[in-house]
């Protein structure tokens, strides 16, 4: 090795690099095929052809079509969660962060993530193993939102009669309902999804600024 030059990769390092490149190619091809064909119509043979690898490589690296798609979704889910964690870790008030989260919705629709997630939700209704994996992915979002609400309490905010977990549910469930409607093509005139979501931010602002008073639960 000459001074200043990079060391020559070992055989094991070359093998690991090739493995990662193959996995990345398969995942990228699976994403493209999934967006075009949907989960039900997805063929591992077609994915293999798109990735330009033998079909056996998909089974070797991922085991099954289901595991391939779950790994693809998990990677995208982790990336988006990291984005949201960065958003909510900022020093803006929660209602401002909510507005930005609404703006992210169209990005996520264009990326195909929302469609993939909703297809797997539907597939999970008749597949317990798939349902458990999807619950874990979605549950991570609701745990994040509950943590955000807990942060409001820790800073002296008032959630009224709601627990942080309940606020997390109220923040997350509108998206769970809105996304399939948007995927179906409903426009704002028929179902004003985006404007309704933005106005949730206005309600959060009232809570944060202490100008909305909620009735307390009857202790009797």
SS3 at position 32? helix
- The answer to whether residue 213 is domain-embedded is no
CATH code (residue 53): 1.10.10.60
Q: Within this chain, do residues 78 and 29 fall inside the same structural domain, yes or no?
A: no
pLDDT tens for each residue of 20-55 = 899 999 999 998 888 888 887 888 999 999 999 999
How many domains does the structure of the chain reveal?
2
Distance, in Å, from the CA atom of 84 to the CA atom of 212, rounded to the nearest integer, reads 26
- The answer to whether residue 56 is domain-embedded is yes
Distance, in Å, from the CA atom of 107 to the CA atom of 113, rounded to the nearest integer, reads 9
- The answer to whether residue 215 is domain-embedded is no
Q: Within this chain, do residues 172 and 79 fall inside the same structural domain, yes or no?
A: yes
Whole-model pTM? 0.78
pLDDT tens for each residue of 108-159 = 998 888 988 898 899 899 989 889 999 999 999 999 999 988 988 888 877 8
Distance, in Å, from the CA atom of 78 to the CA atom of 73, rounded to the nearest integer, reads 8
Q: Within this chain, do residues 46 and 76 fall inside the same structural domain, yes or no?
A: no
Q: Within this chain, do residues 59 and 75 fall inside the same structural domain, yes or no?
A: no
- The answer to whether residue 135 is domain-embedded is yes
Domain encompassing residue 168? 69-208
Which pLDDT score, from 0 to 100, does residue 60 have? 92
Q: Within this chain, do residues 36 and 80 fall inside the same structural domain, yes or no?
A: no
The position carrying tokens 């600024």 is: 209
- The answer to whether residue 111 is domain-embedded is yes
- The answer to whether residue 184 is domain-embedded is yes
DSSP 215: P
pLDDT beyond 70 at 3: no
Instruction: Give the domain-ending residue among 63, 78, 105.
Output: 63
């Amino acid at each position: 090795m000459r001074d200043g030059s990079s060391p020559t990769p070992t055989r094991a390092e070359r093998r690991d690099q090739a493995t990662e490149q193959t996995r990345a190619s398969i995942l990228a091809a699976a994403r493209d095929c999934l967006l075009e064909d949907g989960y039900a119509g997805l063929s591992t043979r077609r994915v293999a052809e798109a990735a330009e690898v033998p079909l056996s490589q998909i089974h070797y690296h991922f085991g099954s079509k289901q595991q391939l798609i779950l790994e693809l979704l998990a990677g995208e889910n982790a990336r988006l969660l990291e984005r949201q964690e960065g958003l909510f870790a900022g020093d803006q008030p929660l209602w401002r962060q909510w507005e930005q989260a609404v703006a992210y919705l169209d990005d996520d629709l264009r990326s195909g993530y929302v469609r993939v997630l909703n297809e797997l939700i539907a597939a999970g209704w008749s597949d317990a193993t798939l349902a458990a994996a999807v619950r874990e992915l979605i549950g991570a979002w609701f745990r994040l939102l509950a943590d955000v609400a807990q942060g409001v309490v820790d800073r002296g905010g008032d959630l009224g009669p709601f627990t942080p977990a309940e606020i997390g549910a109220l923040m997350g469930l509108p998206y769970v309902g809105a996304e399939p409607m948007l995927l179906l093509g409903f426009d704002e005139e028929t179902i004003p999804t985006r404007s309704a979501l933005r106005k949730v931010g206005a309600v959060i602002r009232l809570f944060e600024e202490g100008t909305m008073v909620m009735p307390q639960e009857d202790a009797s």
